[in-house]
Amino acid sequence: MTIQVGDRLPDATLVKATADGPAKVDTTDYFKGKTVALFSVPGAFTPTCSAKHLPGFVEKADDLKAKGVDEIACTAVNDAFVMGAWGKSANADAITMLADGNADFVKALDLTMDGSGFGMGTRGQRFSMIVKDGVVEQLNVEAPGEFKVSSAEHMLETL
C-alpha cells in the first residue's frame, strides 16, 4: 500500500556521496528529530528534474527553512556518484542528495514507476513530502508526466 500522510517512513538504506566515498544513510536515523522536505525525481540529469525540480528547491531553500524545514533532501534511483555529480553541477549545496540505487526506498513507499520505455527501468515517481520526526506530514505525488504539486513553490504555499 502506498505511503500516506500520518505513516512512518519505512526503514531503508540510502547512499550519500561524501569526500571519503559513498556513505550509507539509514532513513530511521536520518529523519529522526527533524523536519525534512524530501523530494523524489525520476532521474538525475533528466530534463524536468534538472531544469525545474532541483533548481526550484535550490532557489527556495532559505524560504523553506524559514518555514520550519531543518533539511532538504533529494532522492532518485541513481547511484551516489551520479547524485553527487548532479548536486555539484546544480550548485545544490543546500540539498542533501540521497541515492536510492536499487529503488528499495521507493519500493517500500510504493511510489515506483516503470521507466523501461525510456531505457530507465524501475524509477521513483515524482513526489515531495514533509517528514517530521520520521512521519509523513504532507505528501504530494505527481500524475504521470506532470510537474506541479511536487515543486518547491507548491510546498511553500502549503506550509
Rounded to whole angstroms, the Cα distance separating 152 from 88 reads 19
E strands, 44-134, are 71-76, 95-99, 112-114, 122-124, 127-132
Catalytic residue list contains 49: yes
One of 9, 49, 98, 130 is an active-site residue; which one? 49
Query: And the C-alpha cell for 151?
Result: 515543486
Query: And the C-alpha cell for 34?
Result: 527533524
**Active site amino acids:** 49
